[in-house]
Amino acid sequence: MQQENYGWRGRMQALGPGILMATAAIGGSHLVASTQSGALFGWQLAWLILLVNVLKYPFFRFGVEYTLTRKESLLVGYQRKGRGYFYSFIVLNIIAAVVNTAGVLLLTASLLQYALPGNLSVTLLCWGILAACLLILLLGHYKALDNVSKLIMILLTFTTLIAVVIAWYNGAQAPQDYVGPSPWTLASLGFLVALMGWMPAPIEISAISSLWLKAKQRHTHITRAQGLFDFNLGYWLTAALALVFLSLGALVQYGSEQPIALAGSAFAQQLMNMYASTIGDWARPLVALIAFLCMFGTTITVLDGYARTLHASFAQLGWIKHPAALNYWLIAQAACGMAMILFFKAALAPMLTFAMTLAFLTTPVFAWLNYSLMRGDGAIVLSWPLRLLSWAGLFYLSGFSLLFLGWYSGLLG
């Protein structure tokens, strides 16, 4: 019994990188995209969301397992695989770092504006949120990020489950004879690709998780079993919450006469109204605060994760070796994200869609790269179910990417 307790105690102490991945994922892809899927199409996309999470599972897991086995980050493997892959990853990270930082920061500020009394400007709130994130990261680094993310995940999961249970008890708002639009049309392909691009997270998060794991290992000894337990808990919690958010949209907003806002900032107010209509208007301030905390967690993990990846990438190239370079990357990324909000605020929604679409189109490449790193390592033996799932994922992701490119280029009408 003591051995078993020690094992569970060790697993609890090892929790961190997987929870951080969940915190980073749940903001844009879940709080907005999953809920919009339910609001627009009801339950029709539930199986697609679940399928994408299952098919992407091996490639996110490989980032953790590679680090646990080889004692090095995925970035080292990318560089060893070839300069083309490594430089492509760096370019993708730079684009994603700036656009994603601006997008999640603007949505976080919109939620905070809705929660606070008065009429504070979104731009001013963006500055305040950015300052708070930088203060936590520059002073507390990984340990502070680890603790904040765990608290946010507990609050968000508990509150969202309550909202869905009440919504289920109240029954769906759509009339029984309501026939909604179908997502299985070429016109909806762009929405589907954007949804899958960030479901459960962009593929570069696998490399970021690898670096978070390395940071955690500097504080705590983590065995392979403990590391995979942390990853699986975070990953499948993320997948389950994607379905929970879809349920909330399907039960509360699907079939309603109110048009569904697709812009993230406009959708924030609708999201709060959905919670209030299920839990009760008295809960509106509480839910607004928790939704803000969810997006705040996403903002802070996006800032840390992408800055950490860019810092490690350029350090591997030997271009930047200053011990405090991570702090400089954090500040530079925050400044670029804020500049995009100030100068391209009106174009931020299409930029986010572009980032989500790019994330999906690059997924097959880096998914194959993660798989090839695992297959090329004699110290790692993949079970046949994991190999089969990997090939199924590569086939599906590649096929859907080609379908989208054909549609976008006009070859499919």
* DSSP characters over 71-125: SS-HHHHHHHH-HHHHHHHHHHHHHHHHHHHHHHHHHHHHHHHHHSSS---HHHH
User: Which range has the worst mean pLDDT, 31-35, 166-170, 242-246, 345-349?
Assistant: 345-349
Give the per-residue pLDDT at 192. 85
Rounded alpha-carbon distances, angstroms, from residue 3 to 7, 11, 18, 68, 370:
6, 12, 24, 22, 34
Give the per-residue pLDDT at 1. 37
Query: 286-314 b/e with 16+ CB inside 10 Å = b?
Result: ebbbbbbbbbbbbbbbbbbbbbbbbbbbe
* R_g over Cα of the chain: 21
Residue 4 predicted with pLDDT over 50: no
Give the per-residue pLDDT at 378. 58
Q: How do residues 202-226 score in pLDDT, each as one tens digit? A: 888 888 889 888 888 887 778 888 8
Residue 237: both structure tokens together: 């919690």
Residue 169: both structure tokens together: 């008890």
Residue 404 predicted with pLDDT over 50: yes
Query: 212-229 b/e with 16+ CB inside 10 Å = b?
Result: bbbbbbeeeebeeebbbb
Q: Which of 51, 63, 122 is nearest to 89 (CA)?
A: 63
Residue 114: both structure tokens together: 């809705």
User: In order of start, what are the domains of the chain with their CATH numbers?
Assistant: 2-344 (1.10.4160.10)
What's the mean pLDDT when you consider all of the chain? Answer: 81
Residue 331: both structure tokens together: 């500040």
Percentage, residues of the chain above pLDDT 90: 16
Q: Which of 4, 49, 93 is nearest to 241 (CA)?
A: 49
pLDDT band at 2 (very low <50, low <70, confident <90, very high): very low
Residue 109: both structure tokens together: 């500020």
Residue 367 predicted with pLDDT over 80: yes
Residue 11: both structure tokens together: 């697993």
Estimate to the nearest angstrom the gap between the alpha carbon of 204 and the chain centroid: 10
Estimate to the nearest angstrom the gap between the alpha carbon of 255 and the chain centroid: 28
pTM: 0.85
Residue 129 predicted with pLDDT over 90: yes
- 311 vs 110, residue with greater confidence: 311
Q: How do residues 315-360 score in pLDDT, each as one tens digit? A: 998 877 776 788 899 999 999 999 988 887 766 667 667 777 777 7
Give the per-residue pLDDT at 16. 67
Q: How do residues 223-233 score in pLDDT, each as one tens digit? A: 888 888 889 98
- 44 vs 28, residue with greater confidence: 44
Span 286-298, mean pLDDT? 76
Give the per-residue pLDDT at 290. 67
String of DSSP letters for 329-356: HHHHHHHHHHHHHHHHGGGHHHHHHHHH
Give the per-residue pLDDT at 363. 83
Query: 46-70 b/e with 16+ CB inside 10 Å = b?
Result: bebbbbbbebbbbbbbbbbbbbbeb
pLDDT band at 309 (very low <50, low <70, confident <90, very high): very high
User: Which range has the worst mean pLDDT, 40-54, 86-100, 150-164, 325-339?
Assistant: 150-164
Percentage, residues of the chain above pLDDT 70: 84
Residue 63 predicted with pLDDT over 80: yes
